[in-house]
Amino acid sequence: MTVHRLRVGVVGAGVMAGIHLGNLARLGHQTFVHSESGAAALANEVGAQVCGNYSALLDAVEWVVIATPTDTHHQLALEALRRGRDVVVEKPLARTYRESAELVATAESLGRRLRPGHVVRFFPEYVHLHRAVAAGTLGELAVLRFTRAGSYPTRAGWFADLGRSGGIVFDQMIHDLDQARWLAGEVAEVSAVSRRDLSGAAPVQAAHVVLRHTSGAISLASGVWGAPNLEFRTTFSVAGTGGVLEHDSARERPSTAQLADAPPTEGLLPARDAADDPYLAELIALLDADPDRDPVVSAVDGAEAVRLAEAALASLESGQPTRLGG
Amino acid sequence: MITDRRRIRVGVLSRAHVHADGYLALLSAAPDVELYVSDPAGGAGTQDRGRHGLPPNAHYLDSYPEVFDLGMDGVVITSETRGHRALVEAAAAAGAAILCEKPLAPDATEALAISAAVRQHRVPFMIAYPVRFMSVCQELLARQAAGQLGELVAIRGTNNGKLPRERRWFVDPVESGGGALFDHVVHVADLIDALTGAAPRTVAAMTNRILHADLTGDAETGGLVLITYDSGLVAAIDCSWSQPALAPTWGGLTLDVTGTRGDVSVDAFRPSVRGLDAGSGRPIRLGYGGSGDERLIATFLETVRGRRSAEPSLEVALRTLSIVLAAAESAGTGRTVAVRPLTAP
């Protein structure tokens, strides 16, 4: 699957770090891990080498995969770029647009690759959607709708800290803000409303963001961090002059199981093959050194998504739409 | 007080609205109802206007005054939106209970005049929001009333349909008030109103005219509306005329409700038999499950008979229309606007 064995270092020890590390190992790359805590346990699963500090990891690798809390992305990525490494950064690229723009400029001036982990671009339903739009199947896009809903992330405290994570808009909805821009082009205006309710057994947060694209198309992204019992569900509906395409992840399951005795399937399921694993497909594309191959998502895309998220937060603050110049 | 044994007289005023004939059919089949119709602007040569294609037991009259002269217990107003005011004023003055098509009015001035007439003459007034009467919506309201959803946090609603080409006035803002905003915001807004009882506070709307760009006039065809409520609830509504003309059904309505105890998703018009016509290559979709019209009309007749109060009421109609008007203002100005309650000064 991979031609060239790379030396790749993963920074972080959470869920995304685990996923990327596992896929890097599957791809046959030589793997390293550094994290403030939990690195050893993670490295053990795939036989990666643990690096006690970030500098040591940077010394050892060609590529860095940053899968740490959002507000650490900028510093870690900057250091890696300056050390002459190529970098994959989990979304969002950084906590602010200013930081994101600095990363883009730094990568550009140093001639380094910087790729944001916008994995939704690799989910097959979104691949189909983008291809159809690019092929002109839907004509001129008019109204786009996206939803992304799951349970409130209580696993790690930093998610709920708006200053650290950017909240639901930066952490979850950014995927759909990126999708809207990828499909319907640059955005002129962003308007958002949001609500967080702490009255129940667990917090619930939701937001709606509407975008006016320079093309005149309008997009709605809705995000939910809901009750603990919520299953993760994404939808889209994109209407243009040439037709409509829709998807609801809750309705597109190839099988349902109603079994008398169904213990958790963790560990029981075989690994998904590449065609079925967007995270694997993403890594393959992002680490691809071939200059003629489209990495699907660029550093600028990562920065622009952050810009949209920031504009949404500004709208929440001001109670008015945020206009984007240029 | 009207006794329930007496036959009641119900007049359908105008057949301009696409729902008029559906209501005629239901009224025609209702027991103890004498049905009258007038459609003076019906024009010649169409199957479904004027005196053409009426149920056999419907009595056609050439003018509205002739209908009122017979003494109506209730009237159903299915004219162009711009025509609602005159008919409401006449019906209210005649003491008839009113079922009025949506949206209530094309602008605030008309809405306030309608409100004044209804209040002055104290006639029962119902706005035609059939969706809340559908079983699936009644079930959602029951769940909410039972506390199953907890506190409501966010709602996403869609009411998308085809461009209403059968009736040109729908897309003429002078007659209708506007385009997709005026056609498709209110059903979702009504469901939210019934769920929460909260008052809408601000609206941010974006509209465009990319779909059906060949339409003359400036009716919007695409619309996304964000609403905040005084309870903290936030809602988003897609009201676009985004159902392609060749789609096998008219469109649909969905509602996704997020509360502190979980989520409920409603796709009101989903249940269908599906297939493909191999000859034409066109999809087949045969929907079932009712549209709420039956219960809407049944409720109206109960209201006419004095057995219950009118619901959805004038207050609901005014509250939901205020959202539409705010959306139009927001879309036009590019600002988030405060909802102006439609109450008499």
Q: Do A143 and B204 touch (CB under 8 A)?
A: no
Which residue of B148, B153, B201, B333 to mutate against A (max A Cβ within 10 Å)? B153
In chain A, what percentage of residues exceed pLDDT 90?
82
Q: Region A271-285: what's the mean pLDDT?
A: 84
In the numeric block, which tokens belong to residue B68? 């009122």
SS3 A27: coil
Set of chain A residues whose Cβ sits within 8 Å of the Cβ of B264: none
User: Nearest C-alpha of chain B: how many angstroms from A105?
Assistant: 33
pLDDT of residue A1: 47
Tell whether B147 is within 8 A of chain A (Cβ).
no
SS3 A53: coil
Residue A295 has pLDDT above 50, yes or no: yes
CB-nearest to B153 from A191, A195, A320 is A195
Q: Do A204 and B336 touch (CB under 8 A)?
A: no
ipTM score of complex: 0.94
SS3 A241: coil
In the numeric block, which tokens belong to residue B78? 């299915």
CA proximity to B184, closest of B53, B328, B343: B328
Which residue of B206, B237, B336 to mutate against A (max A Cβ within 10 Å)? B206
Pairing status of strand B272-276 against strand A141-151 = unpaired
Set of chain B residues whose Cβ sits within 8 Å of the Cβ of A243: 244
Set of chain A residues whose Cβ sits within 8 Å of the Cβ of B160: 239
pLDDT of residue A117: 97
Tell whether B244 is within 8 A of chain A (Cβ).
yes
Tell whether B108 is within 8 A of chain A (Cβ).
no
pLDDT of residue A285: 93
Q: What is the 3-state secondary structure (H, E, C) of chain B?
A: CCCCCCCEEEEEECCCCCCHHHHHHHHHHCCCEEEEEECCCCCCCCCCCCCCCCCCCEEECCCHHHHHHCCCCEEEECCCHHHHHHHHHHHHHCCCEEEECCCCCCCHHHHHHHHHHHHHHCCCEEECCHHHHCHHHHHHHHHHHCCCCCCEEEEEEEEEECCCCCCHHHHCHHHHCCCHHHHHCHHHHHHHHHHHCCCEEEEEEEEECCCCCCCCCCCCCEEEEEEEECCCCEEEEECCCCCCCCCCCCEEEEEEEEECCEEEEEECCCCEEEEECCCCCCEEEEECCCCCHHHHHHHHHHHHCCCCCCCCCHHHHHHHHHHHHHHHHHHHHCCCEECCCCCCC
Torsion angle, alpha carbons of B12, B16, B18, B24, to 10 = 20
Going by the DSSP 8-state scheme, the letter that residue A172 receives in this structure is I
CB-nearest to A227 from B221, B222, B262 is B262
Entry pTM:
0.95
CA proximity to A146, closest of A167, A125, A119: A125
Set of chain A residues whose Cβ sits within 8 Å of the Cβ of B242: 142-143, 239, 244
Place of tokens 């760009």: B213
Q: Region A289-316: what's the mean pLDDT?
A: 92
User: Nearest C-alpha of chain B: how many angstroms from A157?
Assistant: 19
| pLDDT tens for each residue of A227-266 | 998 999 999 999 999 999 999 999 998 888 888 887 665 5
Contact predicate B274/B283, CB 8 Å:
yes
d(CA B327, CA B345): 22
Which residue of B148, B156, B265, B337 to mutate against A (max A Cβ within 10 Å)? B156
CA proximity to A206, closest of B62, B236, B327: B236
CA proximity to B227, closest of B209, B247, B203: B203
Name the stretches of chain B with pLDDT < 50.
none
Q: Region A147-173: what's the mean pLDDT?
A: 90
Contact predicate B127/B17, CB 8 Å:
no
d(CA B265, CA B140): 9
pLDDT of residue A157: 82
Q: Which of residues 248-277 of A touch B (CB under 8 A)?
A: 250
Set of chain B residues whose Cβ sits within 8 Å of the Cβ of A151: none
Pairing status of strand B251-259 against strand B262-267 = antiparallel
Which residue of B224, B243, B267, B333 to mutate against A (max A Cβ within 10 Å)? B224
CA distances from A36 to A13, A50, A297, B139 (A): 8, 11, 29, 50
d(CA A135, CA A115): 25
| pLDDT tens for each residue of A88-133 | 999 999 999 999 999 999 999 999 999 999 999 999 999 999 999 9
d(CA B155, CA A208): 9
pLDDT of residue B3: 55
In chain A, what percentage of residues exceed pLDDT 70?
95
pLDDT of residue A289: 73
d(CA A198, CA A196): 7
Q: Region A174-192: what's the mean pLDDT?
A: 98
CA distances from B17 to B24, B90, B166 (A): 12, 19, 10
Pairing status of strand B74-77 against strand B58-60 = unpaired
CA proximity to A49, closest of A34, A64, A29: A34
Set of chain A residues whose Cβ sits within 8 Å of the Cβ of B244: 243-244
Q: Do A208 and B258 touch (CB under 8 A)?
A: no
The segment with the largest mean pLDDT, out of A145-154, A179-188, B39-48, is A179-188
